[in-house]
């Protein structure tokens, strides 16, 4: 693709990169911005208080060909604050997000501009592939849903983290003025929150080409090491979606009267009572997917007597996650006798937890059970985190992740572990989890709780 010089059109793109302590990685990222075939763009880097030599690296790659605006915060204030500073400094009509460990294809802006020439689009995104620190292509790929054709699926997909990645996405700057910038109270999942406010009200377009590469390493959100991140922020975003949109707006695919949908065989008439039950179950599964067993349980309790076998099984798993073994075993005894192996597992987990809380060393067979617990039940219950605390092989992030499970005994576990933790952050995360779910009442007067 040839270079596109559009200086006369007055269209300017701001390539924005928030960064923190990525001195060893940022050079390749910024060079990929400099190498764009599209000519009318600026580069903005906001350093969120790095204590490494990021500034020296940036100074060494600034060229006479392209201006790079570098701003450094006095302290680390979080990704949302850094993104908002980028937006404040950006002069462009559009913002293209580039994470400081990722790489842009040299034609990404040309591809996006070719879409903008004849279309009034607000958000453009692309396929993503991964690479290693040695620039080796990896098997991880992200081929997102084309929401220009499936916009009705966006909110329900977002609940399960299947939305739009921020990296490599072009966003019309005025959207930030119209719908608000990134919520600085959200330290993880700030992009989910922003897209939940904008995509349902915007024109989006997917370019089905790999135009953005994600580096997989130990400190980014695509790596396995991030499994212990504080997912209570995702719960907060889900609650905001439930508060701001009716169940019918979140799950329009359940409405067989909607002529614009193309998945009629999966639809349910919203006038039928079980449409609401199906929506609540879907939300409960979303909370469980985000490791929030507390709010999963709270939603399942709302379904009441309409619980199916699969719903009861999900409730059992939520209670196991919360260490409420007696309640889990009660449901199994009464409704799920075929799950006798799960009953035996509950008994064993209860014994392990009692030992750990009293400082007793668990047996080698019990240690093996905990190490293999995810393979057995598909998730990590609270006793797994208690075990990690007991052997002091954990971190602040691991414990905050565990907040979504053991709310009842978490603080005791903190003192039991002897780990020095920020109690204010712990209390803040607990507040995010136990914050009541408030359902939206839309203009048609449909109330959901």
Tell me the pLDDT tens digit for each residue of 307-363. 788 899 999 999 998 888 999 999 999 999 888 899 999 999 999 988 877 778 899
Which domain-ending residue is among 226, 251, 278? 226
Q: How do residues 219-265 score in pLDDT, each as one tens digit?
A: 554 333 333 456 778 888 999 999 999 988 898 877 666 555 444 44
Q: Kindly compute the dihedral angle of the four CA atoms of residues 395, 396, 402, 407, in this order, to the nearest 10 degrees.
A: 130
Count how many domains the chain has: 2
Q: How do residues 75-133 score in pLDDT, each as one tens digit?
A: 989 999 999 999 999 999 999 999 999 999 999 999 999 999 889 999 999 999 988 87
pLDDT at 431: 76
In this structure, are 261 and 406 located in the same domain? yes
Which domain-ending residue is among 199, 226, 253? 226
Could you tell me the residue range of the domain that residue 117 belongs to?
Answer: 7-226
CB within 8 A of 5, min separation 6: which ones? 39, 40
Q: In 10 A of CB 3, how many CB atoms?
A: 12
Which domain-ending residue is among 226, 255, 282? 226
In this structure, are 249 and 174 located in the same domain? no
- Residue 395, domain member (yes or no): yes
In this structure, are 67 and 212 located in the same domain? yes
In this structure, are 343 and 424 located in the same domain? yes
Q: How do residues 119-176 score in pLDDT, each as one tens digit?
A: 999 999 999 998 887 777 777 788 999 998 888 889 999 998 888 999 999 999 999 9
Distances (CA, A) of 211 to 66, 133, 158: 21, 18, 22
- Residue 233, domain member (yes or no): no
In this structure, are 217 and 342 located in the same domain? no
CB within 8 A of 363, min separation 6: which ones? none
Q: Whole-angstrom Cα distance, residue 231 to residue 294?
A: 12
pLDDT at 179: 96
In this structure, are 210 and 270 located in the same domain? no
* Residue with the two structure tokens 């009318």: 40
Residue 394 has pLDDT above 60, yes or no: no
- Say which CATH number the domain at 151 has: 3.90.550.10
In this structure, are 205 and 315 located in the same domain? no
Q: Whole-angstrom Cα distance, residue 385 to residue 398?
A: 8
In this structure, are 265 and 132 located in the same domain? no
Whether the CB-CB separation of 191 and 125 falls below 8 Å is answered with no
Give the tokens for residue 320: 């196991």
* Residue with the two structure tokens 């994470």: 99
Angle at 256 between CA 250 and CA 258, to 5 degrees: 70
Helix%, strand%, coil% for the chain, nearest 5: 50, 15, 40
Selection from 440, 432, 408, 421 nearest residue 292 by Cα: 432
In this structure, are 256 and 215 located in the same domain? no
């Amino acid at each position: 693709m040839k270079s596109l010089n559009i200086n006369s059109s007055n269209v300017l793109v701001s390539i924005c990169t928030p960064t923190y302590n990525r001195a060893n990685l940022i050079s390749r990222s910024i060079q990929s911005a400099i190498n764009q075939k599209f000519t009318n763009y600026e580069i903005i880097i906001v350093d969120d208080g790095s204590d490494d030599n990021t500034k020296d690296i940036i100074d060494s790659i600034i060229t006479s060909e392209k201006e790079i605006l570098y701003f450094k915060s006095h302290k680390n204030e979080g990704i949302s604050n850094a993104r908002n500073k980028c937006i404040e400094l950006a002069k462009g009509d559009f913002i293209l997000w580039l994470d400081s460990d990722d790489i842009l294809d040299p034609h990404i802006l040309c591809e996006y501009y070719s879409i903008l020439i004849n279309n009034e689009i607000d958000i453009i995104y692309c396929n993503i592939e991964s690479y290693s620190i040695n620039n080796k292509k990896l098997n991880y790929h992200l081929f997102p849903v084309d929401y220009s054709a499936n916009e009705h699926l966006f909110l329900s997909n977002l609940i399960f983290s299947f939305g739009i990645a921020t990296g490599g996405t072009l966003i019309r700057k005025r959207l930030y003025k119209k719908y608000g910038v990134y919520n600085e109270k959200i330290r993880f999942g700030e992009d989910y929150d922003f897209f939940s406010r904008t995509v349902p009200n915007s024109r989006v377009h997917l370019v089905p080409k790999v135009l953005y590469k994600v580096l997989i390493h130990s400190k980014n959100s695509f790596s396995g090491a991030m499994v212990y991140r504080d997912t209570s922020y995702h719960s907060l975003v889900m609650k905001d979606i439930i508060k701001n949109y009716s169940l019918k707006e979140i799950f329009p695919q359940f409405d067989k009267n909607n002529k614009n949908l193309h998945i009629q065989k999966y639809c349910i008439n919203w006038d039928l009572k079980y449409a609401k039950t199906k929506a609540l179950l879907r939300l409960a599964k979303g909370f469980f997917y985000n490791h929030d067993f507390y709010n999963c349980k709270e939603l399942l309790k709302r379904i009441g007597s309409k619980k199916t076998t699969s719903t009861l099984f999900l409730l059992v798993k939520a209670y196991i996650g919360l260490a409420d073994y007696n309640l889990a075993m009660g449901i199994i005894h009464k409704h799920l006798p075929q799950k006798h192996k799960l009953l035996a597992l509950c008994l064993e987990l209860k014994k392990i937890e009692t030992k750990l809380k009293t400082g007793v060393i668990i047996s080698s067979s019990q240690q093996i059970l905990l190490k293999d617990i995810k393979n057995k039940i598909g998730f990590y219950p609270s006793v797994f985190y208690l075990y990690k605390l007991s052997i002091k092989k954990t971190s602040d992030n691991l414990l905050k992740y565990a907040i979504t499970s053991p709310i009842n005994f978490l603080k005791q576990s903190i003192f039991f572990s002897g780990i020095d933790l920020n109690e204010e952050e712990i209390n803040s995360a607990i507040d995010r989890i136990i914050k009541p779910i408030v359902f939206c009442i839309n203009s048609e007067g449909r109330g959901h709780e």
